[in-house]
């Protein structure tokens, strides 16, 4: 009953966020699963490269995460981006927390909540993201959906609410190879493309996860492709 | 497209409300002990197409992590504590699981079978 109450509150929040405008920036990023594993620590590297009519945007994120309980994990990020002069440098820092609302398989679907706070390094720009994480198993496949609400504020940006939507439909073929279809929407962006992920286990709780996706923008631009790659070492 | 997402979210919400409540019905429990890094019983037979609850009691003084790719489950079982793992509904077949900290000894299998219908004797 407690789990259903938590999910109901989260859903109302999600419905509110769905009525707002889309987010800007690179909308292609990780599709979060709603799960937290107790005692887990992780190091993560994400790489995203978007090529469209305006040129190339390249971003990398380095993170360290730690599960603080059976249901809650906290992760800190350093974000690097290539600027308009082609120089790569520190762009932002971020703290993120994920809360697993239901045990896996407890209800019809599994639910979680995400909160992120980001500060741009050289500008007075803040971003607070919150969202609902959903996953449902259909035999050997899993559907994962993230509905995110973003609020941006600061002296160097117009205060506004935005939304993002991410979807991944994955076939759990083998631990090392799980193909998927991913869909993303953000401000003036709708993208779709194939993705792959896999896990390689080492001793004990140590494992390496990898993710790769190639997303084509369907916005009408002559060229809009995003490549995303992520490596996660859990220990 | 914006409205589409709103409707999608609303649909998910409605489906959740519709489908969450049936899960409140009694779920059959299966008790498993973990002792000396071994699962007892190591073979668990459950009915097909039904959700069940595995309650695993870790009697060891060290934690263990239940892991199964085929069951799509991963859960830490703390030392001298119990953990609940929901599995199913599953198709008939064999689904293996193991303990990540002691993968050579802590091994088991969930066997999913069709339950025989009771005979209707008139």
Checking if the pLDDT of B115 tops 90, the result is no
Cβ distance A129 to A150 under 8 Å? yes
Checking if the pLDDT of A21 tops 50, the result is no
> In the structure, what pLDDT confidence band is assigned to residue A161 with cuts at 50, 70 and 90?
very high
Does residue B31 sit within a domain?
yes
What would you report as the CA-atom Rg of chain A, rounded to the nearest whole angstrom? 17
B19-35 pLDDT tens trace: 554 455 689 999 999 99
Give the pLDDT of residue A213. 97
Does residue B35 sit within a domain?
yes
Checking if the pLDDT of A19 tops 50, the result is no
A117-145 pLDDT tens trace: 999 998 999 999 999 999 999 999 999 99
- Could you give the CA distance from residue B90 to residue B96 in angstroms, rounded to a whole number? 13
What value does the mean pLDDT take over residues A199-227?
90
Does residue B13 sit within a domain?
no
Q: How many domains does chain B have?
A: 1
Give the pLDDT of residue B92. 96
Cβ distance A42 to A59 under 8 Å? no
Q: Residue A224's beta-bridge partner residues?
A: A52
Element (H, E) at B37: none
Cα A83 to chain centroid, rounded: 22
Does residue B34 sit within a domain?
yes
Cβ within 8 Å of B, A 89-108: 103-108
Domain ranges of chain A: 2-167
What are the angstrom distances between the C-alpha of A2 and each of A35, A67, A108, A212, B36?
Answer: 17, 22, 15, 36, 34
> In the structure, what pLDDT confidence band is assigned to residue A20 with cuts at 50, 70 and 90?
very low
What value does the mean pLDDT take over residues A81-109?
90
Does residue B54 sit within a domain?
yes
Give the pLDDT of residue A111. 97
- Contacts A103 to B, Cβ<8 Å: 84-86
Checking if the pLDDT of B95 tops 90, the result is yes
Please tell me the pTM assigned to this model: 0.85
- Could you give the CA distance from residue A25 to residue A187 in angstroms, rounded to a whole number? 8
Least confident range from A59-63, A183-187, A203-207, B67-71: namely A203-207
Do the chains contact at B9 and A38, CB–CB below 8 Å?
Answer: no
- Contacts A105 to B, Cβ<8 Å: 51, 73, 85-88
Cβ distance B96 to B109 under 8 Å? yes
Give the pLDDT of residue A4. 54
- Contacts B13 to A, Cβ<8 Å: 11, 14-15
Closest-CA distance of chain A to residue B56, Å: 15
Q: What percent of chain A has pLDDT over 90?
A: 74
Give the pLDDT of residue B11. 52
Checking if the pLDDT of A12 tops 80, the result is no
Q: Are strands A55-67 and A72-82 parallel, antiparallel or unpaired?
A: antiparallel
Residue of chain B minimizing CA distance to A3: B20
Containing domain of residue B109, as a range?
27-113
Complex ipTM: 0.82
What value does the mean pLDDT take over residues A65-87?
90
Does residue B53 sit within a domain?
yes
Q: What angle do CA A79, A59, A195 make, to 5 degrees?
A: 115
Does residue B15 sit within a domain?
no
Does residue B85 sit within a domain?
yes
Cβ distance A114 to A32 under 8 Å? yes
- Could you give the CA distance from residue A92 to residue A224 in angstroms, rounded to a whole number? 24
Burial class (CB in 10 A: 0-12, 13-18, 19+), B11: exposed
Residue B88 sits in a domain whose CATH number is 2.60.40.420
User: Average per-residue pLDDT in chain A?
Assistant: 89
Q: How many CB pairs under 8 A join A and B?
A: 86
What value does the mean pLDDT take over residues B51-80?
97
């Amino acid at each position: 009953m407690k789990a259903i109450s938590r999910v109901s509150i989260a859903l109302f929040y999600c419905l509110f966020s769905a009525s707002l405008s889309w987010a800007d920036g690179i909308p292609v990023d990780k599709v979060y699963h709603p799960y937290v594993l107790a005692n887990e620590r992780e190091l993560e590297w994400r790489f995203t490269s978007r090529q469209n009519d305006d040129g190339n945007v390249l971003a990398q994120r380095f993170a360290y995460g730690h599960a603080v309980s059976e249901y809650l994990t906290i992760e800190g990020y350093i974000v690097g981006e290539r600027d308009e002069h082609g120089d790569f440098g520190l762009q932002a820092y971020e703290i993120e927390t994920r809360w697993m609302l239901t045990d896996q398989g407890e209800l019809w679907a599994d639910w979680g909540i995400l909160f992120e706070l980001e500060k741009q390094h050289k500008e007075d720009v803040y971003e607070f993201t919150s969202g609902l994480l959903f996953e449902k198993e259909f035999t050997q496949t899993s559907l994962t959906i993230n509905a995110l609400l973003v609020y941006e504020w600061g002296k160097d940006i117009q205060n506004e609410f935005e939304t993002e939507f991410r979807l991944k439909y994955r076939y759990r073929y083998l631990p090392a190879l799980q193909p998927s279809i991913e869909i993303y929407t953000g401000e003036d962006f709708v993208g779709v493309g194939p993705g792959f992920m896999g896990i390689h286990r080492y001793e004990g709780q140590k494992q390496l996860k990898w993710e790769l996706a190639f997303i084509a923008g369907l916005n009408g631009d002559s060229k809009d492709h995003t490549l995303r790659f992520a490596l996660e070492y859990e220990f | 497209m914006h409205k589409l997402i709103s409707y999608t979210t609303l649909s998910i919400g409605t489906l959740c409300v519709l489908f969450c409540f049936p899960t409140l019905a009694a779920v059959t429990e299966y008790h498993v002990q973990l002792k000396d890094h071994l699962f007892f019983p190591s073979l668990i037979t459950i009915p097909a197409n039904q959700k069940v609850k595995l309650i695993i009691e870790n009697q060891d003084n060290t934690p263990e992590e239940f892991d199964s790719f085929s069951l799509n489950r991963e859960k830490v079982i703390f030392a001298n504590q119990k953990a609940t793992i929901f599995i199913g509904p599953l198709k008939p077949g064999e689904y293996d699981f193991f303990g990540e900290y002691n993968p050579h000894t802590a091994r088991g299998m969930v066997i999913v079978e069709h339950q025989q219908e009771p005979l209707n004797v008139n």
